[in-house]
Structure 1
Amino acid sequence: MPAPDEHKTVQARILAYAEAIGWTFVSREEAEQRRGFDPDAPPTDRAKNRSLFFDDLLDTKLREFNPRYAEAEGALLGQFRHLHTDIYGNREFVEHLRNRGKFFDHEEKRERDLILIDYADPARNVYEVTEEWAFHNGHYGTREDVVFLINGIPVLVIECKNANKDEAIALGVDQIRRYHRETPELFVSQQLFTATDAIGFSYGVSWNTVRRNIFNWKILEPQMPQMGADEDNPKNNLRKSATSAVKEIPGRLEQKVRTFCSIPNILSLLKDYIVFSEKDEELNKYILRQHQTGAVEATVGRALDPGRTRGLVWHTQGSGKTFTMIKAAERLFRAPGADKPTVLLMIDRNELEDQMLKNLAALGLGNLEHAGSIARLNQLLRDDYRGIIVTMIHKFRDMPADLNTRSNIYVLIDEAHRTTGGDLGNFLMAGLPNATFLGFTGTPVDKTVYGKGTFKTFGCEDDQGYLHKYSIADSIEDGTTLPLYYQLASNEMLVPHETLDKEFLSLAEAEGVADIEELNKILERAVNLKNFLKGKERIRQVAQFVAAHYRGNVEPLGYKAFLVGVDREACAHYKHALDQFLPPEYSEVVYTGSNNDSRLLKEFHLDPKRERQIRKNFGKLDQMPKILIVTEKLLTGFDAPVLYAMYLDKPMRDHTLLQAIARVNRPFENEAQEMVKPHGFVLDFVGIFDKLEKALAFDSDEINAIVKDLKLLKLLFKNKMESRAPDYLGLIERNFNDKDVDTLIEHFRDPERRKAFFKEYKEIEMLYEIISPDAFLRPFIADYGTLSAIYQIVRKAYTRTVMVDREFQAKTSHLVQQQVGSYGVGGLGEMLAIDGNTIELIKNKSGGDGTKVINLIKSIEKLAQENSDDPCLIAMAERARAVQESFEQRQTSTAEALAELLREVEGNEARKKEQAEKSFDGLTYFVYRSLLDAKIENAEVVSRKIRHAFSEFPNWKRSEKEFRDLRKKATFAIFAETDDLERVTALVDELFTLLEKADRI
């Protein structure tokens, strides 16, 4: 039966599907000719310094779209070549792709917009797709699988992988990352990338290859019509389509190519849905995801619908709501149908205001105003300002009625559940009676008075109460946010239930509490509750508990934490207490100070610069502080993915509770340390989670999607240890002696079997880390230790195929060391010196042949690592790896693999003997033998010349010039003995390829 392969199963199919939707296929040969490749140049030089565009086509379309453009041919390409090969150059190129570049019209003596792509009439553009797009910058070479071009400009690259390859998508993304490092020139113009193996289809933008910003492309699946629905009612059909489900479905490569690579979608992404944003003085690039683009389209559609003036967008916390609002505002402002509108962006927090203004400015919008006061807002509206106005919700207080009666005023309101409180909604809607009001909320719309008001105000024109929805469950399924686990502290630390219920949870005025200020007012009257929470001895006990828990459970994972006190005074006391159990630099207090504060509170006042630095450092793994002590500030809007744990010692409810705990559900990954954050964690010292139904008045399905009791994890751990672990534990029959090690090596030769075990073990390991320390684990410790030791042995035996994951967590690592030590097995086996005695030692050594094979391979690799300038040993290690691969795939028996490796050792001994007789070092001998095998005359003289050339250029690995000079000398030394250029090039390529592999051993 035929097997799948990368080109047949994926690459060729993508090209065929792309042709079917309007892209013209250009063969590799034609593409290279149009890029100026020299077909007579050596293969290694052919891709060097060639054009990254189809120059002729780009110049033709440039002059067609810009009749007054009179610069010389190639002038624009010259500009592009001078752009920085980084995210800044890429941002500048995006401006050109959006037709915001400029050229000087000499006839009219003025600047004009430079049109590169016709978005208004897409049929005027030329859409092409090609394969094997090669480029060499003199240092590194790259060959991209599939590249899409518009008017001769590469805009999208697809990296294809074989459908039967393990971790195929991850490997594809890794290649995209390597292309960024080695040939960044490609990503000045290329804006989008995807990686696919015909099963998965992941996409992202260039210059942002972090895992949390790479997404799965999903297929839009219409929902089944409800029973009794009026199929013939167009209005009914419209509403059904608006709530279509977007699903991640494995496979369906054709549908995914046809939808993602469709010309309208690519044009839309290039024109509208790639954004740049500065955070902590660092430029970032993002692509809006499907739920975001869907919300933008729905928002613009509703705003331009003359028959409707309300809409509610409910996108869960952490799903990119701010960018969705910004893009909706920009689209509305630029929409011809809006007829020079006024767009109000209303936000509810000061820190968001600055960020919003920066992000809007980055879009290149000229008509942008900041209404920093009530008077300024009223003036702008009274003067009929046309453009985007950023303002705070409370600036609408006391607004005069009928201040502006235009209908093309669009009000986009962040955290819309707050705006119906008090009289703000009344002032807003009376002042702008004909405006369209579009509410955005990040928390589920609840059953309280405020929740009903939100639906009534914004959701009255949609059957289900919302224009567009992206729920908590959707977000977790996509990986946009993480699930959140909670655990209750010990009973003596929890607030007594009757006190919590009487003074906080059951208060009538707490019904529908909408913001943290109102919450604090309720807490001010909760006399017994606050006294209990701020008891001196209790604060000391909680601080001690937090310090121990952080040191034992959070710090070993590498993450950070919040400690939430009931008020500012509690935060100050917690800082003093925590400093008794942790180094002072571990924690910082962040709250808003006042001139009338007590001496205690003033002790922790921060100037703005210092606070900014603390917030910035907290977001970095390697910087202090590790714990922030807060009460109000940073509980909404603060985004630090390294935040994993929240120690909650403040009563909260409704939106404030959900927004606070959402701080810990942001995804995080760190490639260097192989960290992937699995979820968020809340340790509750109050007892709020014990009364979750009262604390959160939302639909239970929504809450269950994000908040899970730690008891569920214990049950999951118990089930895995009782149902899955015994299959692996049963492999150990002799108290973990060397025979058991042999059994493990033989059992896990099959890569699929290893992969399944590694996945199962890593899930069990993570559960153990989360739950620990806990008496619940006591009955499982011995078996878990054995399982961990099995993982360690198998991992050491088959290092090259271990899935990318972080090394053992601290507690597990310690347990494994104890467990393996107690069995008397110190690991897989000792390394052997590869010399004349090796064969005898191997034969006499106890243990199975499988263990001998693995140990011998590792010994050969170690020898090659220690002698990385000896091509003979590097080549030997490569052959040993091939033996290992054949052995693991059961193409070679254990005896055959061992015999092959022993022959390698014998051959190496013979090689060393001949090498010593000729007084050659490893490099000289390797060249000598290669020349003899290729029947090149005077091999000994030539090899000495090449060795001398290496001495002349000791920095050839770091210096491109030395590398070129060295390669030239080596080539000419061999070329002097033969006129067969192809054979000479092959010999030189083999030598340098092998030496480059030394760095990867």
Structure 2
Amino acid sequence: MSKQTPEYIHVELPTIQQLSEMGWQHIEGHQFDLRVTERENFKQVLLIQRLKTVIKRINLDDNGNPWLDDTQVNAVVSQLERLAAPRLMEANKAATELLLSGTTILGKDGKQHTVHYIDFEHPENNDFLAINQYRVDPLWITGDRGFIVPDIVLLVNGIPLVVIECKSPKLDNPITAAINDLLQYSNQRNSTQPEGAEKLFHYNLLMIAASRGRAVAGAVGANHEYYVEWKDTIPRSKAEIAAELGVSELNTRQMLIAGMLKPANLLDILRNFTLYETSGGRTIKIVPRYQQYRAVQEAIDRLLHNQTRLQHGTDDQRGGIIWHTQGAGKSLTMVYLIRKIRTIPELRRFKIVVVTDRTDLEKQLSDTAVLTGEPLQIAKKVKKLEQYLQQPGAGLVFGMIQKFKGGEDSEEEEQPEKMPKSLNLSEDILVLIDEAHRSHASTLHTNLLEALPNCVRIGFTGTPIVKSAKKTTKQIFGSFIDQYNIRQSQEDGVTLPILYEGLEARGAVTQGDDLDKLFEIIFADKTPEEQAHSKARYATKTQVAEARELIKAKAKNMLRHYIQRILPGGFKAQVVAPTRRAAVRYYDAFVEAQRELVQQLETRAPILRSLDPEALESIDNEETRFLAQALSYLETIRRLQFGVIISADKNDDPSWEEWTNKSKQEARIERFKKPLVNSDSTKQDGLAFLIVKSMLLVGFNAPNEQVLYLDREMKEYELLQAIARVNRVYNDTKKYGLVVDYYGVNLAEALAIYEEVDTESAWFDIADEIPKLRDRHQRVINLFTQNGCKIDNVDACVDLLRDERLRVEFNEFLKDFIDTLDTILPRPEARHPYNFVKDAKKLGFIKKSVADLYRDEKLNIVTAKEKVRALIDQYIEAQGIDLKVPRIDILSLDFKTHVQRHRSTKAQAAEMEFAARHHISVHYDEDPVYYKKLSDKLTEILESFADNWQEKVNVLWQYIQEIQAGRSTDETGLDPKTQLPFLNILAEHSTKELTQLAQATQEIVEHIRQDIRRVNWDSLVSQEDLRKWIAGYLDDNDVVSYDELEIVADKLVQLARRNRDSLIV
């Protein structure tokens, strides 16, 4: 890379300088000089000699002397170099396990000994090297072609752990561009052919995308949305780092380098904060977020340095509270803490007791136990827990304590059995309590305090501590160790904002309503006698909430709301019912509502399809508009399924076993997590609704869930935990979670027990989006009005957007407006009093016109969500544009007629200019020499005639006709389409006579024709064989100089690949 580019000056160089100041040795890489990077060839990714040297140095015998000979070291290196794993994730996991645990070899004493690749105990003993412009060749290539050159690679002991890709701040979206390059380098873009050098990433810990003021980190397997910033520099302060760098405030690139890439921190992340999980049959690699890493470091610091109860005289000072909001990875923080404790000599003696009702933690802790070499002791009853607690020494105890009588759905709390006082007096016991804020756990806390009076207690909570309980909670656990609130999580992109929609259906229960009022609402159409009978039948509010009539009405409304708001995006839903019985009845009601709706759609389909889209918009009938929208999703609606997940009770109706059976519940949860719609039908699942009472409201993680329908009273921590089910990041189309209230929960009142700062950004009323919609609508309209245009004048708007800078602004403003409109639809505010929908359609039409005229592919990218896109598409088609018909090509017989539809010569010239540019761009690789000449000629025409539009149109017509005529046969007699492109390349690199080159072209093309007809010619091996044959032919026949052989052979193979269809005819 040139050292004068913005990318190097503003990103790569400052990154190298900061790394160097932190202890990384720096080597300036070279794309063609192997010796610089200490490798035998560019296919190698390990620096073998460095690795061998360090392995000898860090593996010492009992006397502190190196004991490995060269043969043994070679064997150890070979294990790391030759990983027996065919896929990237499998290889990465295998490599990580080797780096963490080492390997065993037979020593001279005849015993097996562990050999380590990295000295985690003494980070300073390792070798830390940063190489920029680190070329790596894919295994399938030869010569100087097809290689990748990551900007910076960080190697520990010669092992590439980190790849950093830098991008110029002048790019529109430098971080996205950098992530795309990283995915390309590691063959993670789902390309049909390998694009990169996957082996470099077998050992990878972090993939980092960086620009001038920002950087994000992800792991192998992560999509764009899982690359996140690192906003802490622990163990050092941000002020210290800023002073060293000479800046007043650190940007996130500087923070990430200081916090993640400090040598000791990087090894800590690898050793204690790297996990692999399996979900839906897919392995996922997990690396920490900054708040998880910070919380663990702060907790460890307290454990090591604060006073015990006996030292303090009153309370143990080593514990505290970790509050990390729901969805921020709290349970993983617990696992990270345990792993780190087990690697610190002073803390290894601790017995660690995890108290929770979260079964998902069991698997994570089991994996941790394997790494630490100790069994996981699981206690599901208090008596068993007593037994484990009483045992002396270290251990890892998992207390699966059922805190409710009859399970999670029970209304009654159960007081845990009393444990004996002073069961274990050791100070070396750490109790980790999940969801430490819960009032029902207070008795358990007291029991544990009495049974383990000298233990350390760390409480984890995903919700804030209520104002009234802060003092009590602090007395039990101590002060806050770390806090990561809702607002921070949303700002970091770790969780999504939650929108609240009050949708009190007919008969909804609101706090304070008495039963008489409820009966009047629900049974308004009944006679006084029937109402009196109903009052006798439904004597309590619970019975009212379970009333079949009410549940049917709400289920019907929920289903329709789901189809209008959620189904278009392909997301799923959860329903919180007031009781277990109501949950079962909801299932029946949904099935019936679905059947009725499908029948209604099938009956009215002919009429609905005959309605003109524009006429439909003007119909003041919400029901007709809903049915018209739903009709387009009829097939998906048909396959929607519903499931209930509730806890069991010995007095249950036998039919409820379908919903209480654990194995069936687990199967439903797995199905629910699958996409609703997928191009591969075997990977999709129509189970779109899970109906619960209390289950799955804590810790349940289904990122494809977007809406929670709330139909029972909830408050405080239970409410915060429940609504957080919809805040998980899923893909770039899920911008928010939605809570729809069918009960009448007063959120402000329900959360009033918390400090206001603690619940800031917990939820946003969807009505608050209306002003935002108005502002974003005005911004995109102002783009035109401030430049003298109105959106009704499409031609003027299109002409204005010839300016690429304005096109970029328009695209950005329109996307923001449409995203907000999608959030509001189908609420009436989207249409009245401002007709946002009408303007969205016009703006969508302008965008389509601009994309077609200027051939701007960025404007062709679908940014509108499904609901708004459908409206825009209908409007465009109503203007006579068939979206299924591709944009008219310059070679079309109708092209001239198409151009002449423009009234102005300026628009006609623009149509021809951009159509020609697009044609050249698309076909350039088919004949680079020929299309380069066409491009140069177009530039000359445009410069010569400038604003003389009529003359420019005339000359451009002649130019277009030349393109349409295509290449004519020249004096060589070679075919213009299949042979001349190859001749052009040879002529570009050879000084031989044209007749000799023509003869060579014929022979090469004929060989290529025969070669590409073979089965599996698309394989890289076959193409490499062809490249070698061409190079040999050129050499044997002295067609080009020796220095040009590889370059020309590469170009001819690329040309053959590009023109394959025409060559095999």
Same-fold call, TM cutoff 0.5? yes
1:480 to 1:891, Cα distance in 2 relative to 1, 3 A: farther
Structure 2 residue 370 is the aligned partner of structure 1 residue 371: no
Aligned pairs (5 A) from 1:706-855: 706-722=762-778, 724-728=780-784, 740-741=794-795, 743-778=796-831, 779-780=834-835, 781-797=837-853, 802=858, 806-821=862-877, 831-834=888-891, 846-850=903-907, 852-854=909-911
Structure 2 residue 173 is the aligned partner of structure 1 residue 167: yes
CA distance in 2, matches of 1:830, 1:912: 24
CA distance in 2, matches of 1:90, 1:906: 56
Tell me the amino acid that sits aligned with residue 190 of structure 1. N
SS of the residue aligned with 2:706?
Answer: strand
Q: Is the 8 A contact 1:219 1:248 kept in 2?
A: no
Q: Give the unaligned 5+ runs of structure 2.
A: 60-65, 188-195, 242-246, 308-316, 404-415, 519-537, 595-637, 676-683
Q: Is the 8 A contact 2:150 2:165 kept in 1?
A: yes
Greater shift in the superposed pair: 158-167 or 692-701: 692-701
CA distance in 1, matches of 2:506, 2:762: 27
Specify the alignment match of 1:63 in structure 2: 56
CA distance in 2, matches of 1:179, 1:537: 59
Specify the alignment match of 2:1005 in structure 1: 947
**Superposition CA RMSD, Å:** 4.0
Q: Is the 8 A contact 2:457 2:477 kept in 1?
A: yes
Q: Is the 8 A contact 2:165 2:210 kept in 1?
A: yes
CA distance in 2, matches of 1:209, 1:497: 45
Structure 2 residue 562 is the aligned partner of structure 1 residue 550: yes
Which of residues 664, 667, 681 is equivalent to 2:729?
667
Structure 2 residue 364 is the aligned partner of structure 1 residue 356: yes
Aligned pairs (5 A) from 1:115-514: 115-136=116-137, 137-138=139-140, 141-181=147-187, 182-205=196-219, 207-219=220-232, 251=251, 253=253, 256-307=256-307, 308-338=317-347, 340-349=349-358, 351-361=359-369, 363-393=371-401, 397-418=417-438, 421=441, 423-448=443-468, 450=469, 452-459=471-478, 462=479, 466-490=480-504, 492-499=506-513
Q: Is the 8 A contact 1:568 1:601 kept in 2?
A: no
Specify the alignment match of 2:408 in structure 1: none
Greater shift in the superposed pair: 390-399 or 890-899: 890-899
Specify the alignment match of 1:522 in structure 2: none
CA distance in 1, matches of 2:270, 2:948: 55
SS of the residue aligned with 2:575?
Answer: strand
Percentage identity across aligned positions?
21
For residues 199-225 of structure 1, what are the alpha-carbon distances to aligned partners after superposition, in whole Å with 9 as ceiling and x for unaligned?
2111122x1322342111225599999
Q: Is the 8 A contact 2:80 2:98 kept in 1?
A: no
CA distance in 2, matches of 1:725, 1:217: 37
Tell me the amino acid that sits aligned with residue 213 of structure 1. Y
1:169 to 1:125, Cα distance in 2 relative to 1, 3 A: same
Tell me the amino acid that sits aligned with residue 382 of structure 2. I
SS of the residue aligned with 1:345?
Answer: strand
Deviation at 1:419, TM superposition (A): 6.7
The TM-score with structure 2 as length reference comes to 0.79
Structure 2 residue 656 is the aligned partner of structure 1 residue 601: yes
Which of residues 716, 728, 733 is equivalent to 1:676?
733
Aligned positions, number:
930
CA distance in 2, matches of 1:336, 1:591: 45
Greater shift in the superposed pair: 695-704 or 609-618: 695-704
Tell me the amino acid that sits aligned with residue 662 of structure 1. A
Q: Is the 8 A contact 2:546 2:579 kept in 1?
A: no
Specify the alignment match of 1:108 in structure 2: 109
CA distance in 1, matches of 2:205, 2:817: 39
Q: Is the 8 A contact 2:968 2:976 kept in 1?
A: no
For residues 627-673 of structure 1, what are the alpha-carbon distances to aligned partners after superposition, in whole Å with 9 as ceiling and x for unaligned?
2122122111110111101111111111111111100011111xxxx
1:259 to 1:298, Cα distance in 2 relative to 1, 3 A: closer
Specify the alignment match of 1:567 in structure 2: 579
The TM-score with structure 1 as length reference comes to 0.84
Specify the alignment match of 1:535 in structure 2: 547
For residues 901-946 of structure 1, what are the alpha-carbon distances to aligned partners after superposition, in whole Å with 9 as ceiling and x for unaligned?
7686465467532169836262312112332343334112111111
Q: Is the 8 A contact 2:577 2:710 kept in 1?
A: yes
Greater shift in the superposed pair: 148-157 or 100-109: 100-109
Q: Is the 8 A contact 2:104 2:113 kept in 1?
A: yes
CA distance in 1, matches of 2:254, 2:1023: 44
1:616 to 1:535, Cα distance in 2 relative to 1, 3 A: same
For residues 272-314 of structure 1, what are the alpha-carbon distances to aligned partners after superposition, in whole Å with 9 as ceiling and x for unaligned?
2222223344322111111111110111122223411431111
Q: Is the 8 A contact 1:312 1:439 kept in 2?
A: yes
Deviation at 1:265, TM superposition (A): 2.2
Q: Is the 8 A contact 1:475 1:481 kept in 2?
A: yes
Tell me the amino acid that sits aligned with residue 669 of structure 2. R
CA distance in 1, matches of 2:711, 2:378: 37
SS of the residue aligned with 1:566?
Answer: coil
Deviation at 1:364, TM superposition (A): 4.6
CA distance in 2, matches of 1:900, 1:93: 63
SS of the residue aligned with 2:437?
Answer: helix
Specify the alignment match of 2:666 in structure 1: 612
SS of the residue aligned with 1:605?
Answer: helix
Q: Is the 8 A contact 1:394 1:424 kept in 2?
A: no
Specify the alignment match of 1:514 in structure 2: none
Deviation at 1:82, TM superposition (A): 2.3
Deviation at 1:862, TM superposition (A): 6.6
CA distance in 1, matches of 2:1040, 2:962: 32
Deviation at 1:409, TM superposition (A): 0.7
Tell me the amino acid that sits aligned with residue 1030 of structure 2. A
Deviation at 1:380, TM superposition (A): 2.2
Tell me the amino acid that sits aligned with residue 562 of structure 1. Q
1:412 to 1:966, Cα distance in 2 relative to 1, 3 A: same
Tell me the amino acid that sits aligned with residue 44 of structure 2. S
CA distance in 2, matches of 1:612, 1:590: 9
SS of the residue aligned with 2:54?
Answer: helix
Q: Is the 8 A contact 1:148 1:154 kept in 2?
A: yes
Q: Is the 8 A contact 1:276 1:362 kept in 2?
A: no
Q: Give the unaligned 5+ runs of structure 1.
A: 39-45, 226-236, 242-246, 505-525, 670-674
Q: Is the 8 A contact 1:405 1:434 kept in 2?
A: yes
Specify the alignment match of 1:54 in structure 2: 47
Specify the alignment match of 1:33 in structure 2: 35
Specify the alignment match of 1:700 in structure 2: 756
CA distance in 2, matches of 1:445, 1:707: 17
For residues 231-254 of structure 1, what are the alpha-carbon distances to aligned partners after superposition, in whole Å with 9 as ceiling and x for unaligned?
xxxxxx9xx99xxxxx99784755
Deviation at 1:859, TM superposition (A): 7.0
Tell me the amino acid that sits aligned with residue 720 of structure 2. L
Q: Is the 8 A contact 1:406 1:434 kept in 2?
A: yes
Q: Is the 8 A contact 1:102 1:113 kept in 2?
A: yes
Tell me the amino acid that sits aligned with residue 184 of structure 1. E
1:397 to 1:704, Cα distance in 2 relative to 1, 3 A: same
Q: Is the 8 A contact 2:642 2:691 kept in 1?
A: yes
1:306 to 1:816, Cα distance in 2 relative to 1, 3 A: closer
CA distance in 2, matches of 1:364, 1:600: 45
Specify the alignment match of 2:709 in structure 1: 647
